[in-house]
Amino acid sequence: MAAVGDGRGRGCCRRARLHGLVNFIADRDVRSYAGCARNQRGMSRAVVTGATGLVGLHVVEALQTAGIEVRAFARPSSDISRLAARPVEIVSGRLDDPAAARRAIAGADWVIHAAGRLPLGRRRGLENRPGPYRIVNVEATEIWLCAALDAGVERFVYVSSASVYSLDARAPIAECAPLGPPYEYGISKLAAEERVRRYQAQGLPTTIIRPCVLYGTGDRYFLPIMLRLARLPLLPLVNGGHALFDVAHALDVAELIYRACRVPSAAGAIYNAGPGEAMSLRDIFDTIRQVVGHGPRIVAVPAGVVEFLARLAHWPTALLFPSAESLVTPAGVADLSRDGHLDITRARQELGYAPRFKLAQGLAATLRPPHGMGPPH
């Protein structure tokens, strides 16, 4: 796939480099001070973007559990209430602001770039329609890559998505499977991966993580939708919902991200992040029924019929439920008809990745969390 974007990130990077040359002496002193500070505190420091999101919150938790000093980057408009209760340094700024990125990364050892725009979005190419997916997921990523390269960080972990794979990829889907996402979201994530590999070639140690669909405390997408569907008396699913569908707890993926920061051989590598167990969409609804006490009766519907109904319902869904728009398209129907189970062998063997949460256990912990933490809303 051709590279996507108009080079704004590279322009910002060039301006940042020019600014760095003009202020070389000051920057050198700052870097020297930061290095001394790292040696004095005797622990690693990690910067987490998207720290108020599902992945970012759990990455902060995993890092702090491991004794890592955390600096959380969040937008000025973000709800930082969950972060405020933790001993983290919070840096506020715009994700596409090069100065904010440099300020956040100063003195850090690792950068975990978990910020991104969701949900999946429409099936349209970024090349002909510049928009927020490209700005947030591609151009802002390049700004942070540039700042990390200039700062000389030890590891830059990019949180991509399993949505970069082609619908033709066969399960279990390994990291070498065909790429070719049908949605704007996946297209933007793949374009960002291309930027990451470009900076890896320039000397920035990077790792790419491709998570499946995630859930956990703070989930605003998957679990709320599934709980709404669980209240229905009947639920038509393509071919009865027998296609394999990966869902993983965000804390498991966060621990994999931490391992990717620590292991030297992870530099330059790509890892799938899934639950490790193959479950069908029907199995997932059965598990939800066990945990919450109710669920719909599954009705098997041929893919052709669902695709026809999806075409009729596309525009009403886009207007009323934009987060579910991608599901009511031919590509969405095809996605629900194929086995999307990820192969996590590489992460197991190279990083010791061992997901702890079975779905029933993870759902129960999320919906009935300890210490007064609220369920997803």
Summarize pLDDT for 313-370 with one digit per residue, the tens: 655 555 555 555 555 566 666 677 789 999 999 999 999 999 999 999 999 999 876 5
Residues of the chain with confidence (pLDDT) below 50:
1-10, 14-40, 120-128, 130, 371-377
Tell me if 332 is assigned to some domain: no
184 domain-assigned: yes
Domain that includes residue 64, residue range:
8-218+247-276+341-357
How many domains are there within the chain?
1
Spatial distance between the Cα atoms of 297 and 226, rounded to a whole number of angstroms? 14
**What CATH number has the domain bearing residue 108?**
3.40.50.720
Q: Is residue 311 part of a domain?
A: no
Within the chain, what is the greatest distance between any pair of CA atoms? 68
Q: Is this model's pTM higher than 0.85 or not?
A: no
Question: Considering just the CA atoms, what is the radius of gyration of the chain in Å?
Answer: 21
Is residue 114 domain-resident?
yes
User: Is 2 a member of any domain?
Assistant: no
Q: Is residue 120 part of a domain?
A: yes
Residue 35 lies in a domain: yes
Render the burial of 174-207: b for 16+ CB within 10 Å, e for the rest: bbebeeebbbbbbbbbbbbbebbeebbeeebbbb
CB-based contact 51:72 (threshold 8 Å): yes
Percentage above 70 pLDDT, the chain: 75
Q: What is the dihedral of CA 233, 238, 244, 246, to 10 degrees?
A: -60
Residue 208 in domain: yes
